[in-house]
Structure 1
Amino acid sequence: MLMVKLLARMPDLRQRVQTEHVPDESGHCRDCREAQWPCELYQIAVNAERLDTRGLRLSA
């Protein structure tokens, strides 16, 4: 949860992660290569976005 909170405070980085960690034609993450998509980093970024858009308090 700590990574989600940290990434929620960094919208530019969060967007970059979501842009770069996309599925390839075989269902793997393009950036991670061997990880199935959605990879862990992509899921963290999505959860951070949800946390940020809900306007929840982002205390460490």
Structure 2
Amino acid sequence: MSNRKPINDVMKHLNKLEGYPTNVELKTLPKPLRYFGYFFISFFALAALIILMGVIIT
């Protein structure tokens, strides 16, 4: 449970029903999801680097 205090009773009830992720780490996920996360982060980092290099070169 996190240290966040709900704004009112409605938000407290909604949080109890739906919840929200806290302290999510890639190391604790199952392998397929972990590999997808690593691929996703790497893809966007490489894409940003390629775009940045393309802008600098032109």
TM-score by length of 1: 0.34
Larger Rg belongs to:
2
Q: Which has the higher helix share?
A: 2
Q: Which has the higher contact order (CA 8 A, sep 6+)?
A: 1
